[in-house]
Amino acid sequence: AAGVIQSPRHLIKEKRETATLKCYPIPRHDTVYWYQQGPGQDPQFLISFYEKMQSDKGSIPDRFSAQQFSDYHSELNMSSLELGDSALYFCASSLADGGSYNEQFFGPGTRLTVL
């Protein structure tokens, strides 16, 4: 079965550089979520989109922005990178709930290292 695809899988950047992470949801999934997982920590919610509109927002720095495109893929743009941004970034997708509270399916993550 098709899963959530994230690219790149690994990314190394210097401080103050920019990075773009991409997420391709499971086919027919219309909802995308972004999470950040620091070393030894639990995933922290950043932002979510439903039908290309921002739906929920968590602890996402102002330096970060994201969007969902017409084909439902999403991109997380990160600027002025800081050492503390080094983490595993997960994308998850789901079908819109409609009351069914569908589970989120997670991608393999992008490991970002900021030097």
Closest CA to 47 of 19, 75, 20: 75
Which of these segments, 15-23, 69-77, 78-86, 89-97, binds another protein (CB under 8 A)? 89-97
Position 96 contacts another protein (CB under 8 A): yes
For the record, the structure tokens of 60 come out as 């996402």
Minimum gap (Å) between residue 57 Cβ and another protein: 9
> How far is it between the farthest Cα atoms of the chain?
44
Angle at 106 between CA 101 and CA 111, to 5 degrees: 150
| Residue that has been written with the tokens 């990314």 in this structure | 11
Position 50 contacts another protein (CB under 8 A): yes
Position 31 contacts another protein (CB under 8 A): yes
Minimum gap (Å) between residue 16 Cβ and another protein: 27
Which C-beta is closer to another protein: that of 14 or that of 53?
A: 53
